[in-house]
């Protein structure tokens, strides 16, 4: 996770919106540059030789850059996959600040700015001092780390460890042989790992020609638990690195098993390199909770403002949410320059407990996002998410934390055994509109008489509004919100036996 770059004010660069960066999948600008040892490097020559290039653009005064340098992630990666290893990937390090001189790479002596130490000592990969490259890649923050694929497409990947760098590089298509194609940008058709009820798989991916011969036909097949599902007979014309979208019709599953997507034949023949022709996806049974009230425990890492989550029903409707609204459900991996706190943002290294109230039996999912794209664990703190039955807060039914941009977990609620069955016929609370601007309408339904209180609190727990009612049936309130600051607020409905919470976003 790249973090606070206050010292960025010392350079000509400043943190800007990510929209100023090169878009993901853009054509990488070519460059030729000379490293500190006098060796010349031509980017496109490396790519045309079939080597992905990991490019780090940093500044000597940048504390996060120095921290990543001292993690030895690039050094370890280069030792395994550089020229002294399997020689499959090239690493290039660029000092991209025009305001610093060459001496800053070697330490404080003669440095016209600040540097925490010697960047050259013990570094085996090439180091280049060239701010023109930073301009070419429209860098607005340090460090900016990219993987550039042999098809000349560039992707920003962030401060990954050595194994994650390898995974990112291996997502690049690499051409070899004459008759060769592969599956890339693969999507099994659902973000979920678990099966709860019927799940429709709309599998799609990109078919890429990786051979020197044009690709004119392909037979592509799907199987479920090794049983034939469907096939696509693709025809067209793709030169080397040419791409074609492949999309299967929806296919529903309701049991655990394995989905297998395969390219069987290309150009009416076998593939020279079948290693990237098959994708297997394992689906497990969803965990089931015994009550519509589920406890979420979430521990943030050292950058709590990067976390956001949503609770969704089986139709994808958002039932609850938490964390930084500036991140949002699609924010994972989109803020490698760091993101500041916004409405609902969590603190760092703290534990959040939230009782999620579900409408009743059925299938649900938890969608959790990390803005920087490196999950909640374990590079910058041991963050996690865990879901528990309320009557067993020791053993979680679902847990995680090691992911990249986002994670989606499916689960179900089954109260057929009679446990907490009154929850489905108990009090209800509904809010609309949500988000609210000038006002929010609150509806509660009380099936049983008793002492009941309804309150509105801000994210700090301070009371904003409250009402007491002994009545049963449907009751409504219209609460003005035009004078409330933008943020997340919580309505709490307390009865003699239950406590329900519903969040509302006030957004002007």
Tell me which H or E stretch contains 284: strand 278-285
CB neighbourhood size of 72 (10 A) = 15
Q: HEC profile for 107-159?
A: CCCCCCCCCCCCCCCCCCCCEEECHHHHHHCCCCCCCEEEEECCCCEEEECCC
Question: What is the predicted pLDDT for the residue at 460?
Answer: 63
Question: What is the predicted pLDDT for the residue at 23?
Answer: 87
* Structure-block tokens of residue 299: 């521990």
pLDDT beneath 70, residues of the chain: 1-20, 336-337, 415-426, 459-461, 470-471, 496-499
| Distance from C-alpha of 451 to C-alpha of 443, rounded to nearest angstrom | 17
Question: What is the predicted pLDDT for the residue at 273?
Answer: 93
Question: What is the predicted pLDDT for the residue at 415?
Answer: 65
Beta pairing, strands 90-95 & 53-58? parallel
CB neighbourhood size of 212 (10 A) = 14
* Structure-block tokens of residue 359: 């409408």
| Nearest 10 degrees: Cα torsion 152, 154, 157, 161 | 20
pTM over the 0.75 mark: no
CB neighbourhood size of 444 (10 A) = 23
Question: What is the predicted pLDDT for the residue at 496?
Answer: 66
Domains of the chain by start residue, with CATH: 6-170 (3.40.30.10), 181-284 (2.60.40.10), 287-413 (2.60.120), 426-506 (2.60.40.1930)
Q: What is the largest CA-CA distance in the chain?
A: 84
| Distance from C-alpha of 151 to C-alpha of 473, rounded to nearest angstrom | 64
CB 338 within 8 A of CB 4: yes
Residues near 282 by beta carbon (within 8 Å), at least 6 away in sequence: 193, 257, 258
Question: What is the predicted pLDDT for the residue at 393?
Answer: 87
Question: What is the predicted pLDDT for the residue at 2?
Answer: 33
Nearest by Cα to 181 from 268, 51, 48, 273: 273
- Which residues on neighbouring strands pair with residue 147, listed in sequence order? 54, 155
Nearest by Cα to 178 from 145, 211, 223: 211
Cα 365 versus chain centre, distance: 16
Question: What is the predicted pLDDT for the residue at 416?
Answer: 55
Phi, psi of 120 (to 5 degrees): -90, -35
| Per-residue exposure over 52-63, b if at least 16 CB sit within 10 Å of its own CB, e if not | bbbbbbbbbbbe
Locate the DSSP E strands across 390-457: 398-400, 406-413, 428-432, 439-446, 452-457
């Amino acid at each position: 996770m790249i973090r606070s770059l206050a010292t960025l004010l010392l350079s000509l660069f400043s943190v800007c919106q990510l929209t100023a960066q090169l878009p993901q999948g853009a054509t990488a600008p070519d460059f030729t540059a000379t490293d500190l040892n006098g060796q010349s490097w031509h980017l496109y020559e490396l790519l045309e030789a079939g080597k992905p290039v990991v490019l780090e653009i940093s500044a000597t005064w940048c504390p996060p850059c120095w921290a990543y340098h001292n993690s030895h992630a690039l050094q370890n990666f280069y030792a395994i996959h550089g020229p002294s290893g399997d020689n499959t990937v090239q690493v290039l390090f660029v000092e991209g600040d025009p305001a610093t001189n060459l001496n800053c790479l070697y330490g404080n002596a003669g440095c016209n700015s600040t540097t925490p130490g010697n960047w050259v000592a013990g570094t085996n990969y090439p180091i280049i001092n060239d701010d023109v490259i930073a301009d070419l890649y429209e860098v607005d923050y340090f460090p900016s780390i990219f993987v550039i694929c042999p098809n000349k497409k560039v992707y920003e990947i962030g401060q990954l460890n050595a194994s994650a760098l390898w995974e990112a590089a291996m997502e690049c298509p690499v051409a070899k042989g004459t008759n060769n194609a592969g599956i890339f940008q693969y999507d099994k058709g659902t973000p979920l790992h678990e099966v709860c009820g019927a799940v429709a798989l709309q599998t799609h991916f990109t078919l890429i020609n990786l051979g020197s011969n044009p690709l004119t036909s392909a037979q592509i097949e799907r199987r479920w638990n090794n049983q034939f599902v469907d096939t696509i007979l693709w025809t067209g014309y793709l030169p080397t690195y040419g791409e074609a979208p492949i999309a299967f019709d929806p296919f529903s599953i309701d049991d655990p098993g394995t989905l297998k997507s395969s390219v069987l034949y290309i150009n009416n023949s076998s593939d020279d390199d079948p290693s990237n022709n098959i994708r297997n996806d394992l689906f497990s049974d969803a965990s089931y909770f015994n009550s519509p009230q589920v406890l979420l425990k979430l521990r943030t890492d050292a950058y709590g403002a990067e976390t956001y989550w949503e609770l969704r029903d089986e139709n994808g409707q958002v039932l609850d949410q938490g964390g930084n609204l500036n991140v949002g459900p699609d924010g994972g991996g989109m803020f490698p320059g760091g993101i500041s706190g916004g409405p609902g943002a969590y603190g760092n290294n703290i534990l959040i407990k939230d009782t999620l109230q579900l409408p009743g039996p059925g299938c649900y999912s938890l969608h959790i996002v990390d803005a920087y794209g490196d999950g909640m664990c374990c590079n910058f703190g041991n963050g996690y998410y865990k879901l528990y039955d309320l009557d067993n807060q020791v053993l979680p039914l679902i847990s995680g934390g090691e992911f990249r941009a986002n994670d989606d977990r499916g689960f179900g609620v089954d109260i057929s055994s009679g446990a907490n069955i009154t929850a489905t016929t108990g009090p209800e609370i509904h809010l609309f509109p949500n988000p609210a601007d000038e006002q929010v309408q609150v509806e509660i339904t009380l099936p049983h008489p008793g002492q009941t209180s309804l309150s509105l609190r801000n994210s700090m727990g301070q009371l904003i509004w409250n009402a007491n009612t002994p009545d049963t049936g449907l009751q409504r309130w219209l609460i003005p919100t035009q004078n409330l600051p933008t943020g997340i607020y919580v309505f709490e409905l307390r009865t003699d036996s239950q406590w329900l919470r519903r969040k509302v976003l006030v957004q002007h």
